[in-house]
Amino acid sequence: MGKTTGFMEYARAPATQRSPAERVFDWREFHEHVAESRLREQGARCMDCGVPFCHAGQIINGAGYGCPINNLIPEWNHLVHEGHWREALDRLQQTNNFPEFTGRVCPAPCEGACVLGINDAPVTIKSIEQAIIDKGFAAGWVVPRPPTRRTGKRVAIVGSGPAGLACAGQLNYAGHLVTVFERADRPGGLLMYGIPNMKLDKTVVQRRLDLMSAEGIKFITGINVGVDYSVEQLKEDFDAIVLCGGATRPRDLALDGRNLQGIHFAMEFLQANTRSLLDSNHLDGRYLCAKDKDVIVIGGGDTGTDCVGTALRQGCRSLVQFEILAQPPEQRGLDNPWPQWPRVYRVDYGQEEAAALFGQDPRAYSIMTRRFLGDDEGCLRAVQTINIDANEAADAPGTEGEWPTQMVLLALGFLGPETDGLLSQLGVVINERGNVAVDNDEMTSMPKVFAAGDMTRGQSLVVWAIADGRRAARGVDKYLMGETVLS
């Protein structure tokens, strides 16, 4: 694969991005196109490693590694190196319904499992993936491909995030009549409203939605199934139902002062911002604004980073991000061996932008929030904290602090799906983790009702949602037809 000695001849060249000092003043994507010559060199770095771990999504001791959708990474790396872009696109689309999404937002567990990464910098798999699909769209190679025959079977998919869209695309390919229900005013779920525009431009999402519509998939928005559309009607109208509503219950921080004005869940902040951006370029004022405020983001991860990037673009006065864990090491620890995802110190786009504006990484590590402090009018004025002693796993005496703030964003993860409403009406079993219980074919405890994505897995990555959606589609197809044509 690649060039026999390519990994020795070429250094890793990561994807380029617009300058953080420039991009923080607009909402355009920060990704930049990489020159074809450099991409071909990066493809040449892919080794003939014998047993590639990059494309085998697995779990070892609770930690994942590799690509959950089993992308044929060595194959399309080699094809890009040789300049065979159309063939590389064909390989990529065999396993990934939405490489334009994963190429932008996936943290790339494939790169963490790259064999070259054992003693050198891994291959830039993610940037090559994005380049393949972007070139495919630009060249007109990605076109609607409706099925040549229809089975007459009708499938309802509730939720239009990455799991729901992947499941819809696969089932439509198999010839079933697919209807996707979305309670928001636009389809796309997390891809449309959960991920900010500068990370995933919504024209990229809409382009894929338009393509799927042209292939025969029906999208119905503004319908909350179980409220606006009864469960009885759903069962009567469709031969199979797939639940892809995500893990939307946010983890709260039940502390003194939690009810003060100015404390918000991360998704409340992010979704309103993107909706207002798309509706009116923020002219309608229907969003939570951080302008001229001292903002504290509590929690790390992708959602916390997205809050950082959004607050900066809104014009916050200052910004701090609390992390309860200690700062990760620069290199893998002994308890984090290859090919597991490396738990190391990283600077994501939001932290990079904060450093460009304010001169330093905004994260404060080993810090615990103790209470929220308010003024006489019930508005947030400060957060009281204490540092954590990692060695003692306890509070560090004498490290109490008070941080002035007028806006706190809670990015503490999610507890699972909303179990009241639709799930309770359907009567599906909820497992001990609070997720929808499914079998190996992603079928729930109720006949003809399936589930996929974060609703069954818990909060996870877009690429895992796509994998789960594809697996649910295979289960549905087998249930409806007695066998499946889907991979």
Whichever domain contains 300, its CATH number is: 3.50.50.60
DSSP notation for 423-434: HHHHT--B-TTS
pLDDT of residue 3: 80
One domain for residues 266 and 393: yes
What pLDDT shows up at residue 389?
A: 86
| 444 occurs within a structural domain | yes
As for how many domains the chain has, the answer is 3
42: domain CATH number is 1.10.1060.10
Q: What pLDDT is attached to residue 62?
A: 76
| Residue 224 falls inside a structural domain | yes
Distance of CA 461 to the CA centre of its chain: 5
| Shared-domain flag, residues 120 and 177 | no
* DSSP code at position 376: T
CA 227 to chain centre: 27
Residue 235 lies in a domain: yes
Residue 397 and residue 274 share a domain: yes
Name residue 364's beta-bridge partners: 322
pLDDT at 398: 87
Nearest to 452 by CA among 434, 440, 465: 465
Cis peptide before 339 (omega within 30 of 0): yes
Local mean pLDDT, 10-residue blocks, the chain (487 residues)? 83 92 97 92 91 87 88 95 97 97 96 94 96 98 97 98 98 98 98 98 98 98 97 97 97 97 98 98 98 97 97 98 95 90 95 97 96 97 93 81 98 96 96 96 97 96 97 98 95
Structure tokens at 146: 């409706």
Instruction: Indicate the DSSP class of residue 31.
Output: B
Residue ranges making up the domain that contains 174: 154-248+415-481
**Domain co-membership, 27 together with 172:** no
Give the pLDDT score at 14.
86
* Range 50-56, long-range pairs (CB < 8 A, 24+ positions): 51/115, 52/1, 52/115, 53/113, 53/114, 53/115, 53/339, 54/110, 54/111, 54/113, 54/114, 54/115, 54/123, 54/125, 55/110, 56/113
Nearest to 361 by CA among 321, 315, 408, 391: 321
Residues 256 and 402 in one domain: yes
- Pick from 138, 162, 187: which residue ends a domain? 138
Task: Let me know if residue 232 belongs to a domain.
Answer: yes
Q: Are residues 212 and 290 in the same domain?
A: no
pLDDT at residue 391, as a whole number: 72
Alpha-carbon gap, residue 193 to 308, rounded angstroms: 16
User: Taking each helix axis from N to C terminus, what angle separates 73-82 and 125-138, rounded to the nearest 10 degrees?
Assistant: 60
State which of 354, 383, 412 marks the end of a domain. Answer: 412
Specify whether 269 is located in the same domain as 406: yes
Whether residue 108 is contained in a domain is answered as: yes
263-265 sheet: strands from edge to edge: 263-265, 407-410, 294-298, 318-322, 363-364
Of 412, 447, 472, which residue sits at a domain end? 412
In a domain, 133, yes or no: yes
E strand map for 51-108: 58-60, 63-65
Same domain, 177 and 325: no
The whole-angstrom separation of Cα 28 and Cα 206 is 15
27 plus 173 within the same structural domain: no
Task: Give yes or no for a contact between 193 and 270, defined as CB atoms under 8 angstroms apart.
Answer: yes
Residues 469 and 438 in one domain: yes
Q: How far apart are CA 370 and CA 319, in angstroms?
A: 19
Give the Å distances, CA to CA, from 120 to 7, 14, 15, 47: 9, 14, 17, 12
Q: How far is CA 235 from CA 158, 241, 446, 483, in A?
A: 12, 8, 11, 22
By three-state DSSP, how is residue 363 classified? strand
Asked if residue 472 is part of any domain, the answer here is yes
The answer as to whether 448 is a domain residue is yes
- Is residue 182 domain-shared with residue 320, that is, in the same domain? no
CA distances from 261 to 272, 315, 377, 379 (A): 17, 20, 9, 5
Same domain for 220 and 316: no
